[in-house]
């Protein structure tokens, strides 16, 4: 929809991969609609996944004494709690620049789209690190200020992911259980916690086992869905949608 | 139990943290029993979480042309698929040395223990990266060769984790749902997939909101449980344990 802003957080190593194609077709279709599309290509950016005291900056710039300097910028230099320090640094605007840059992109976006291959029923570590570091207290949530009151309320999020396993493994009676089960920590525990409304996930099952024609069909169906993405209603937030209770 | 080998994969930035205390007490108690205990202290090791082509080595050592050299070692240098390349490299023993070192520790262990704070209903990115990179096809599983037939069958695993949220948030009717829900991707999708039998998780809820005396009690109860850990039966693998169906 013209005027909307979309951030695509993309986690694949290979531009010519199937994930890369899904990202490319999303950029093309959303741009065609007049949206402003920004891509965070995490591997290309060599995005840092580890949450460490390096994320807390501030004080005088004395590069040769970086470690000492950073310790001095901490609220509790003797005892490092990442969550506490990141919250303080967020309020003081002294988080490291790569985190602030990503937060700015999220802040401006109407829709945040995550494009990734499923690694161990979850996101690849580089994307987990994006979540760990970017979605900090004070920016994405506060206490209180989570779930329906999360600080990113008013925004939409969607997961577009590929799997190694086939669709028949991801049913209630399949070896890997219903695919909704593994979505819970991501869609509820992370996105809903931050206040996002979540659109139905787009899962491309087992592209590695599909023919070239089937893969083209999967990319085309993603492009097709995106044509009417702005008319979609969010999915329910609560356990029955995930676990059928 | 005397003679048993334990690997503790530990993910906290601060040695004097509550997680650090839980790790320390586990090392002490298991050593007292005569176990051989190895700790992978992921932040202290600056463990690499990103799954990239740097993980695939081999060929002649020509350090100044590392990138070219690494491309030449890949099965498909024109199109990088991490899973495919890691599997090939695992078979050829040409994975990078930090992965091989961790695999050796896992291979030797009777019990693999994970000690971490819950980040976004899951493990911190540095530990997710350990899972993504160490538990590769050919080492931890194969196709076929997963779930009950996973290549690490015969081994035990246990999650010991701390939460930010209080216990009453992690019930079926709590805001964050039953804690078993978020365990599914880790215990089933990862550990069971690799063939591990999984012991009941040890969850220390909200130590940050506890008194110093309560925290000491939580550490003591972990030490107490470890005294009889070798007599425990694994938990059930399947959805009813997690979702009550």
Check whether B197 has a pLDDT greater than 90. Answer: yes
Give the closest-approach CA distance of B12 to chain A in angstroms. 9
Give the closest-approach CA distance of B225 to chain A in angstroms. 27
The number of angstroms, rounded, from the C-alpha of B217 to the middle of its chain's C-alpha atoms is: 25
Q: How many CB atoms lie within 10 A of CB A31?
A: 12
Give the pLDDT score at B68: 41
To the nearest whole number, what is the mean pLDDT of chain B?
Answer: 93
Q: Report percent pLDDT > 70 for chain A.
A: 92
Structure letter (DSSP) for residue B113: E
Confidence band, pLDDT 50/70/90 cuts, at residue B1: confident
Check whether B14 has a pLDDT greater than 80. Answer: yes
Task: Give, rounded to a whole angstrom, the gap between the first and last alpha carbons of chain B.
Answer: 36
The number of angstroms, rounded, from the C-alpha of A163 to the middle of its chain's C-alpha atoms is: 17
Strand locations in chain B, DSSP E?
5-10, 36-41, 111-117, 156-162, 197-198, 202-204
Suggest the residue from B176, B195, B243 to mutate for an interface test with chain A (most A CBs closer than 10 A): B243
B124/A51 Cβ within 8 A: yes
To the nearest whole number, what is the mean pLDDT of chain A?
Answer: 93
Could you report the per-residue pLDDT of B78-95, keeping only the tens digit for each? 689 999 999 999 999 999
Is the distance from CB of A53 to CB of A85 less than 8 angstroms? yes
Task: Spell out the SS3 assignment of chain A.
Answer: CCCCEEEEEECCCCCCCHHHHHHHHHHHHHHHCCCEEEEEECCCCCCCCCCCHHHECCCCCCHHHHHHHHHHHCCCCCCCCHHHHHHHHHHCCCECHHHHHHHHHHHHCCEEEEEEECECCECCHHHHHHHHHHCCECCCECCCCCHHHCCCCCCEEEEEEECCCCHHHCCCCCCCCCHHHHHHHHHHHHHHCCCCEECCCEEECCHHHCCHHHHHHHHHHHHHHHHCHHHCCCCCCCHHHHHCC
Give the pLDDT score at B66: 41
- Residue A233's alpha-carbon distances to A101, A229, A236, in angstroms, are 29, 9, 9
Could you report the per-residue pLDDT of B29-59, keeping only the tens digit for each? 999 999 999 999 999 999 999 999 999 997 4
Structure letter (DSSP) for residue B236: P
Suggest the residue from A120, A157, A170 to mutate for an interface test with chain B (most B CBs closer than 10 A): A120
Check whether A18 has a pLDDT greater than 70. Answer: yes
Closest CA to B20 of B243, B194, B186, B222: B222
CA atoms within 13 A on the CB side of A176: 24
Check whether B71 has a pLDDT greater than 70. Answer: no
Is the distance from CB of A198 to CB of A235 less than 8 angstroms? yes
Chain A hits for B16, CB-CB cut-off 8 Å, are 79
At a CB cut-off of 8 Å and minimum separation 6, what does A223 contact? A25, A26, A28, A29
User: Any idea of the CA torsion for B104, B107, B113, B115, to the nearest 10 degrees?
Assistant: 20
Check whether B63 has a pLDDT greater than 80. Answer: no
Confidence band, pLDDT 50/70/90 cuts, at residue A69: very low
Could you report the per-residue pLDDT of A197-242, keeping only the tens digit for each? 999 999 999 999 999 999 999 999 999 999 999 999 999 999 999 9
Give the pLDDT score at B59: 47
Confidence band, pLDDT 50/70/90 cuts, at residue B61: very low
Could you report the per-residue pLDDT of A116-153, keeping only the tens digit for each? 999 999 999 999 999 999 999 999 999 999 999 999 99
Check whether B60 has a pLDDT greater than 50. Answer: no
Chain B hits for A177, CB-CB cut-off 8 Å, are 184, 188, 239
Structure letter (DSSP) for residue B5: E
Partnered with residue B198 across adjacent β-strands are B157
What is the C-alpha to C-alpha distance for residues A106 and A131, in angstroms, rounded to an integer? 11
Partnered with residue A161 across adjacent β-strands are A116, A203
Give the pLDDT score at B58: 72
Could you report the per-residue pLDDT of A23-33, keeping only the tens digit for each? 999 999 999 99
Q: How many CB atoms lie within 10 A of CB A223?
A: 17
Give the closest-approach CA distance of A154 to chain B in angstroms. 20
What is the C-alpha to C-alpha distance for residues B176 and A188, in angstroms, rounded to an integer? 8
Check whether B207 has a pLDDT greater than 90. Answer: yes
Q: What tokens were used for A138?
A: 């004070």
Is the distance from CB of B73 to CB of B65 less than 8 angstroms? no
Check whether A42 has a pLDDT greater than 50. Answer: yes
Chain A hits for B43, CB-CB cut-off 8 Å, are 50, 52
B121/A125 Cβ within 8 A: no
A189/B17 Cβ within 8 A: no
Give the pLDDT score at B2: 85
- For the segment A92-114, the average pLDDT, to the nearest whole number, is 98
Chain A hits for B175, CB-CB cut-off 8 Å, are 147
Could you report the per-residue pLDDT of A158-191, keeping only the tens digit for each? 999 999 999 999 999 999 999 999 999 999 999 9
Confidence band, pLDDT 50/70/90 cuts, at residue A75: confident
Is the distance from CB of B194 to CB of B132 less than 8 angstroms? no
Asked whether this complex has an ipTM greater than 0.90, the answer is: yes
Chain B hits for A178, CB-CB cut-off 8 Å, are 239
Give the pLDDT score at A73: 65
Suggest the residue from A42, A140, A189, A195 to mutate for an interface test with chain B (most B CBs closer than 10 A): A189
What is the C-alpha to C-alpha distance for residues A132 and B179, in angstroms, rounded to an integer? 19
What is the C-alpha to C-alpha distance for residues A4 and A110, in angstroms, rounded to an integer? 6
């Amino acid at each position: 929809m013209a005027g909307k802003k979309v951030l695509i957080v993309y986690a694949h190593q290979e531009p010519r991969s199937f994930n890369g194609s899904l990202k490319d077709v999303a950029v093309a279709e959303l741009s065609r609609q007049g949206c402003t599309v920004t891509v965070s290509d995490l591997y290309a950016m060599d995005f840092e996944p580890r949450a460490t005291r390096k994320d807390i900056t501030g004080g005088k710039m004395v590069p040769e004494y970086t470690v000492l300097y950073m310790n001095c910028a901490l609220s509790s230099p003797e005892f490092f709690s990442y969550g506490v320090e990141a919250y303080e640094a967020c309020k003081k605007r002294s988080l490291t620049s790569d985190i602030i840059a990503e937060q700015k992109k999220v802040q401006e976006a109407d829709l945040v789209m995550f494009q990734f291959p499923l690694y161990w029923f979850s996101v690849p570590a580089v994307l987990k690190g994006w979540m760990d570091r970017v979605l900090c207290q004070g920016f994405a949530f506060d206490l209180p200020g989570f779930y329906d009151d999360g600080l990113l309320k008013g925004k939409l999020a969607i997961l577009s992911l590929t799997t190694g396993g086939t669709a028949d493994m991801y049913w209630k009676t399949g070896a890997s259980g219903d695919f909704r089960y593994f979505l819970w920590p991501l869609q509820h525990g992370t996105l809903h916690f931050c206040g996002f409304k979540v659109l139905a996930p787009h899962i491309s099952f087992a592209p590695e086992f599909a023919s070239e024609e089937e893969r083209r069909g999967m990319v085309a169906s993603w492009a097709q869905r995106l044509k009417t993405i702005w008319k979609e209603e969010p999915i329910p937030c609560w356990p029955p949608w995930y676990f059928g209770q």
